[in-house]
Amino acid sequence: MAAIKIEARGVTMAYTDKAGRSLPVLREVTLEVQEGEFVCLLGPSGCGKSTLLNILAGFEAPEEGEMRIDGRSVTGPDPRYLTIFQNYGLFPWRSVLGNVEYGLEIQGVPASRRRATAMEYLRLVGLLPFAHHHPRQLSGGMQQRVALARALAVDPDVIFMDEPFGALDAITRIKMQEELQRIWQQKKKTIVFVTHDIDEAVYLADRVVLFTSNPGRIKTVISIPISRPRDRSSPDFAALRDQIFTAFQMKQEGEPGEPEYYI
């Protein structure tokens, strides 16, 4: 069995609203992620999955509980653990190449090596011809690929992805999932991926962590033992999707005609 890369123990988090009330966001969340594993955090909006990601990435400190990566306590953001955001976070004043070089620049990598590495990762995400464009001139999917290249360029151990494809249209999204899967298989990074899309989670993850809200807790963890590349129309895929639907109680069992949820 692979080594434990990330562990969260009893992570509890609450926000204080304007009236001074404490709003619980996460309660007693405990989670382990293996080295090289692809884990999806899946749940409805407001279930605290993004908050957990922010805590894992070191952008926020939990109220209670412990966060460790490689056995060391997480105290703040770290270039070894990079986050990719839904709105890409590309610097519009830099070219695509300049964006991918950014992390290397901070690490003090000499210009020529910086350029070569950036070009290599732009090739990996298929954007070499757009190196000298501005991010603004690219589509959403392409921009997210630039963000991915920028993250990969500094060779991080872990990549946190916060609904990275949430702003993309359905077809681009599927293409991006395939692309991410290909790159993950090639680079073998540990990935923690937040989504509210069940298909996306089943397609990408080794394990799907299901969250429920108010306050955010882990409901259950479902392993996806399908070999890659996965076929979205296979019976295995459908069965696992069904299992998640059931876990979220979105499938009606028992008394028909009595909805368990309201929209």
Q: Name the site residues for other proteins (rule: CB under 8 A).
A: 57, 59, 76-79, 82-83, 85, 87, 89, 91-95, 102-103, 106-107, 134-137, 154
In angstroms, give the least distance from the CB of 102 to other proteins.
6
Is residue 200 within 8 Å of residue 244, measured between CB atoms? no
Give the chain's count of helices (H) and strands (E): 7, 10
Q: Burial, 167: exposed, middle or buried (Cβ in 10 Å; 0-12, 13-18, 19+)?
A: middle
In angstroms, give the least distance from the CB of 54 to other proteins.
9
In angstroms, give the least distance from the CB of 89 to other proteins.
4
Cβ-based nearer residue to other proteins, 15 or 91: 91
Cβ-based nearer residue to other proteins, 160 or 203: 160
Distance set, CA 147 to CA 34, 118, 175 (Å):
24, 12, 16
List the beta bridge partners of residue 34. Answer: 4
Cβ-based nearer residue to other proteins, 24 or 141: 141
Strands 72-73 and 81-84, how do they pair? unpaired
Cβ-based nearer residue to other proteins, 135 or 215: 135
In angstroms, give the least distance from the CB of 92 to other proteins.
5
In angstroms, give the least distance from the CB of 229 to other proteins.
30
Cβ-based nearer residue to other proteins, 107 or 252: 107
Phi, psi of 9 (to 5 degrees): -120, 115
